[in-house]
């Protein structure tokens, strides 16, 4: 029997814990013939129609395309937030359709840092407390979590805003808090949805330099949705999504 284009062999179920990188996994992301539609009653709106994408570990790739082309949908599937309707999606050698709900949550918590397009910060918490959340969920002590969270706020240039709540921060500052929160748990895979959309040129460049360092120096992998031409030079590759497929790569 032929194996598929992704890495896992269907004859050899992956028995490694779902929150780890599978041994020998060369690709961080492998997507084959991915289909995804939204359903509302009897209305079916297809969004992804046969996406093919392979991202090597340590790469920083961008996903560009017109508004409504499915960039956020694709990123959400990679982040195990949405389930594929059809096709294969492997993240670090794990076929995500094979994970049950609890395993998917564990997988996301251990391996993935997601920067949401609309930030999704918690209003009742300060910037520092927002960044601490992923660490507290993992059971880290408040003291250690705060120390680590401060490092991340510093890295995104917000050390002096630690005690401020999101409703009193600018959109650009919220965007950087969201980035700090996504990175605080040292995720292997960073998925960022338009992370520079609210940033000026200097802050946008700094955030992308930070992501770039994490990929080139630490071997992490980043998939960044953007149409911000100012930052294209930070990418190893830029993939264009059009009509539900990857149209081309540059
Ligand atoms: N939860 C949803 N329910 C129904 N339709 C959706 C939903 N989310 C997105 N869509 C639709 O799917 C298409 C792709 O959306 P999206 O992935 O957000 O595109 P992009 O991020 O490229 O702008 C759009 O037409 C959008 O209106
Ligand atoms: Mg979007």
Backbone angles phi, psi at 227, to 5 degrees: -125, 25
Structure token pair of residue 13: 């179920």
Mean pLDDT for the stretch of residues 220-241: 93
Rounded to the nearest 5 degrees, what angle is found at the Cα of 103, between the Cα atoms of 56 and 121? 80
Is 90 exceeded by the pLDDT of residue 15? no
User: What is the per-residue pLDDT for 11?
Assistant: 46
Residue 177 domain boundaries:
59-81+108-249
User: What is the per-residue pLDDT for 51?
Assistant: 97
- Please give the number of the atom of ligand 1 that sits closest to the Cα of 193: 21
User: What is the per-residue pLDDT for 229?
Assistant: 86
Indicate the number of domains in the chain: 1
With respect to residue 119, please indicate whether it lies within any of the assigned structural domains.
yes
With respect to residue 28, please indicate whether it lies within any of the assigned structural domains.
no
Q: Give the pLDDT band of residue 8 (cuts 50, 70, 90).
A: low
pLDDT of 84-142, one tens digit each? 999 999 999 999 999 999 999 988 999 999 999 999 999 999 999 999 999 999 999 99
With respect to residue 196, please indicate whether it lies within any of the assigned structural domains.
yes
Give nearest CA residue, ligand 1 atom 25: 68
Beta strands per DSSP E along 3-130: 27-40, 43-56, 60-64, 86-91, 94-95, 112-115
Find the CATH number of the domain harbouring 149.
3.40.50.300
With respect to residue 94, please indicate whether it lies within any of the assigned structural domains.
no
Beta carbon of 118 within 6 Å of any ligand 1 atom: no
- Please give the number of the atom of ligand 1 that sits closest to the Cα of 117: 21
With respect to residue 77, please indicate whether it lies within any of the assigned structural domains.
yes
Mean pLDDT for the stretch of residues 183-187: 95
The proportion of the chain whose per-residue pLDDT surpasses 70, expressed as a percent, equals 91
Beta carbon of 242 within 6 Å of any ligand 1 atom: no
With respect to residue 39, please indicate whether it lies within any of the assigned structural domains.
no
With respect to residue 26, please indicate whether it lies within any of the assigned structural domains.
no
pLDDT of 17-45, one tens digit each? 556 666 667 899 999 999 999 999 999 99
Residues with CB under 5 A from ligand 2 (ion): 71-72
Beta carbon of 73 within 6 Å of any ligand 1 atom: yes
User: What is the per-residue pLDDT for 26?
Assistant: 82
User: What is the per-residue pLDDT for 222?
Assistant: 97
Is 80 exceeded by the pLDDT of residue 68? yes
Name every residue whose Cβ is closer than 8 Å to that of residue 242 and which is 6 or more positions away in sequence. Answer: 65, 66, 69
Give this prediction's pTM. 0.91
């Amino acid at each position: 029997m032929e194996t598929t284009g992704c890495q896992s062999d269907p004859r050899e179920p992956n028995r490694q814990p779902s929150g780890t990188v599978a041994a020998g996994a060369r690709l961080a992301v492998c997507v084959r013939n991915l289909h995804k539609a939204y359903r509302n009653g009897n209305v079916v709106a297809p969004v992804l129609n046969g996406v093919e994408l392979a991202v090597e570990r340590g790469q920083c790739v961008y996903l560009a395309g017109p508004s409504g082309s499915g960039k956020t949908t694709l990123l959400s599937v990679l982040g195990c937030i949405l389930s594929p309707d059809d096709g294969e999606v492997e993240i670090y050698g794990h076929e995500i359709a094979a994970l049950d709900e609890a395993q998917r949550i564990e997988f996301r918590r251990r391996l993935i840092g997601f920067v949401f397009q609309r930030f999704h910060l918690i209003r009742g918490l300060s910037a520092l407390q927002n960044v601490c959340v992923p660490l507290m969920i993992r059971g880290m002590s408040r003291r250690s979590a705060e120390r680590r969270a401060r490092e991340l706020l510093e890295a995104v240039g917000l050390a002096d805003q630690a005690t401020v709540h999101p409703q009193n921060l600018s959109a650009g500052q919220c965007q950087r808090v969201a980035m700090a929160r996504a990175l605080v748990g040292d995720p292997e895979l960073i998925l960022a949805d338009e992370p520079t959309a609210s940033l000026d040129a200097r802050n946008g460049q700094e955030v992308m330099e930070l992501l770039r360092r994490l990929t080139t120096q630490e071997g992490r992998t980043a998939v960044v949705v953007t149409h911000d031409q100012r930052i294209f030079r930070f990418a190893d590759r830029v993939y264009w999504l059009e009509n539900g497929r990857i149209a081309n790569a540059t």
